[in-house]
Amino acid sequence: MTSWTPEQLHSIHRMLNPSTIAVVGATPRLQYGGRFVRAALQAGEQVRVYPVNPRYTEVMGVTCYPSLLELPEPPDVVGIVVPYDQVMRTLEECAQKQAGSAIVISAGFAERGDAGRRDLQGQIGAFARESGVRVCGPNCLGVANLKANIWACAGSRARVGGSGPVALVSQSGASAFGPFLTRAADLKLGYSYIASTGNEADLESSDFIRYLLDDPDTRVIACFIEGLKDGRKFMEVARIAAERGKPIVLLKVGRSAAGARAATSHTAALTGADAVHDAVFKQSAVIRVEDYDELLETAQLLAYSPPLTREGVSIVSHSGGISSLTADKCGQMGLHLPELTEPTRQGMNEILKGFGWAANPADVTGYANSESFPQILQLMSEGPEVGILAIASSGADSQAQQVIELRDQTDKVVSFLWTGSITATDGLNKLKEGRIPVFQSPERLARGLRGQINYHRWRTRCLDEGRVQVPGMSPAQRDAIGSLVSREGHVLTEYEAKQFLAHWDVPGVREQRTATADEAVAAANAIGYPVVVKVESPDIPHKTEAGALRVGVRGEAELRQAYAEILQNAHRHAPTARVLGVLVQEMVAGGTEVIVGLSHDPLFGPMLLFGMGGIFVELYQDVALRACPVSESDAREMIQDVKGARLLQGYRGQPAGDLEALVQVLMRVSRLGIQCEREIQELDLNPLMVLPQGQGVKAVDALVVLASSPAAASA
């Protein structure tokens, strides 16, 4: 089901491609209202500009109208630059005049942290959706169409830079029409459109991205995001972008933790907000970057490069030190530098004549500035594994021309690490004008290439697998969910949790819930010693901390003693806890402990977690996250992301674990997360024992926290 209507996209189209612009709050002074008029007038005759302000009859040589209602025609977009308490009245006039869209430059809304101002911003959004006059902002600087030279904005740098294949969507207007504009001009990186979205009372970043995916001139979308309003909408638009081959490169602020929340399960305690964003971006083929320059350089690389066919990186430089450092940074990012083939090595040695180093990376000394350089570039790009050629140098225009000519003759990605002065004109300008992706540091080059390779891999997988489909529930699953709604407690006991999970084919252990020591002895005799004995209570989710668990119990006398001790410890740990009995379980040996969990993120919904299990999971936090539902390749990638999962591959003589069974459980739990989204807040399988290959997995312990629980509500 799509999140975007044709009417909404048409409104954005009129905003970004207007033939008529009205500016309410226009002024001859170069304040926001005056800057908006001045910027709009730069479009010349292709746009009719209507200043609106009852205090003036003319602004900047153009007739000024006392109100919107007196304009000679409905405007495509209305720039609103009035005090915050006049914005709603102005929007009502926009609707009366049948304006196509509105950009609210005015500030003083939710960003003030005042409840009344937040409510007023909410009214703007509701009115925009009801009236059809869709709104960008408030607290933004507007939009720009650089293809047509139409600037519907209050920025002070209108008409800086040229047009090109990258669209910019930024919640910060000062960043969009400040450093992102000027630094792109320095790179000679052209924008197709710029949209600053501000507080996003109505239209949000995802809406503008969705519109831009239909634009044939936009190849890459660069984003500066402070916070997403609707995580699932963003995931949907990112999926569409990947399917269409239009990468999203994103700078997201907020890596540091703003606070902690109480959580009952291990999973909820481990899913920090930024970790969730990282996981979702990785899952959705969004390339996350760290700063302004990396955003623009990576966008440039993707916009000006052919589709990647092979992942090997070949590096050539005039300097051994520079080539080694560049190779080192590429190695740190996990990039593959294939060895030279013998014909390539021989050809390089014939040119270098004993100087430099014929290898990958290659040190070609002064031959980087010679007539032999094109032959060197050709040789270094010819290997069967090579898909990317990275040149690290700082030559003159002649060298730049040689690089451009190679790029025009090959299907390989060609990138350039500029090692000279950033103020240089000779060579550097020619590279930029020739649309050669230029980086200013080895680290940013390596990160950019890593992002390009990751995108290539994800998109190939995306097109091969298609979208993850969640099947319909069985009658037994529906009944199991229905039973959760009517129950009194908010946390399932371990026994109840396993009974529930069995409906989703999550394998458990042989166990019995007992009410007396005699029943426990009978259960152990039926299961077979050794056994595990643990308290059965919805109020004691972490039994180890309570001393309410014994493992390796080997006989009746030991069992009776353990039975008495864990009940005593449970009552001492939580005097008011409801104790429903004691579980007697089979002892599972010969496996590897992992954790599989679910938590509910307020932006992205159910999140699946995987990590190494037992008591160390919170200590090391070596976990992987994905939004539900996950595909088979998502599940395999989660396992690869966890460093400790090397144990599952047969580390140091240990038998390899049953990875296929683990992958299936990850997929089943992720489907459960979607199907039980309204009922389950948190879920832990900790530990889930991964047995040797071919023997499956078993949930030794399980915790299910229902969405109505006090712990979930406080979280």
Of the pLDDT bands very low, low, confident and very high (cuts 50, 70, 90), residue 452 is very high
Give the whole-angstrom CA distance, residue 505 versus residue 340: 50
Domains defined along the chain, listed by start = 6-155 (3.40.50.720), 307-436 (3.40.50.261)
Question: Mean per-residue pLDDT for 99-127?
Answer: 95
Mean predicted confidence (pLDDT) in 338-366: 96
Indicate if the pLDDT at residue 485 is higher than 90.
Answer: no
Q: Percent of the chain beyond pLDDT 70?
A: 95
- Among residues 649, 662, 654, 672, which one has the least CA distance to residue 696? 662
- The pLDDT-based confidence of 264 (bands split at 50, 70, 90) is very low
CA–CA gap between residue 103 and residue 170 (Å, rounded): 14
| Model confidence pLDDT, tens digit, residues 154-202 | 988 777 778 999 999 999 999 999 999 999 999 999 999 999 999 999 9
Angle (deg, nearest 10), helices 292-303 and 179-187 = 50
Label residue 465 by pLDDT band (50, 70, 90): confident
Mutual orientation of helices 205-212 and 231-244 as an angle, nearest 10°? 20
- Separate counts of helices (H) and strands (E) for the chain: 26, 30
Above 50 in pLDDT, residue 269?
Answer: no
- Helix 442-465, helix 231-244: angle, nearest 10: 90
Q: Token pair of 255, please?
A: 């890596």
Mean pLDDT of the chain: 93
Tokens of 366: 């002064």
The alpha carbon torsion through 348, 354, 355, 357 (nearest 10 deg) reads 50
Average pLDDT of the residues in 446-473: 92
Q: Which amino acid is at 697?
A: V
Does 423 score more than 80 pLDDT? yes
How far apart (Å, rounded) are the C-alpha atoms in residues 593 and 683?
Answer: 16
Omega within 30 of 0 (cis) for the link into 629: yes
Mean pLDDT of 638-646: 93
Q: What is the pTM of this model?
A: 0.92
What is the secondary structure of 178-202 as a DSSP string?
A: THHHHHHHHHTPPEEEEEE-TT-SS
Say if CB 390 and CB 313 are below 8 A apart: yes
Instruction: State the pLDDT confidence band at 462, using cuts at 50, 70 and 90.
Output: confident
Reported as half-sphere exposure (CB side, CA atoms, 13 A), residue 130 has a value of 8
Residue 680 is predicted with a pLDDT of: 94
CA distance 715 to 710: 8
Task: Describe the strand order of the beta sheet including 386-393 as a list of residue ranges.
Answer: 362-363, 312-317, 386-393, 413-418, 438-439
**Burial 138-159, CB ≥16 within 10 A → b, else e:** bbbbbbbbbbbbbbbbbbeebe
Residue 423's CB is within 10 A of a number of other CB atoms, namely 6
pLDDT at position 709 over 60: no
Average pLDDT over residues 358-370: 96
Q: What is the pLDDT of residue 712?
A: 44
d(CA 53, CA 81): 10
Q: Is pLDDT above 90 for 258?
A: no
pLDDT tens digits, residue range 66-93? Answer: 999 999 999 999 999 999 999 999 999 9
Q: How crowded is residue 308: how many other Cβ atoms within 10 Å of its Cβ?
A: 20
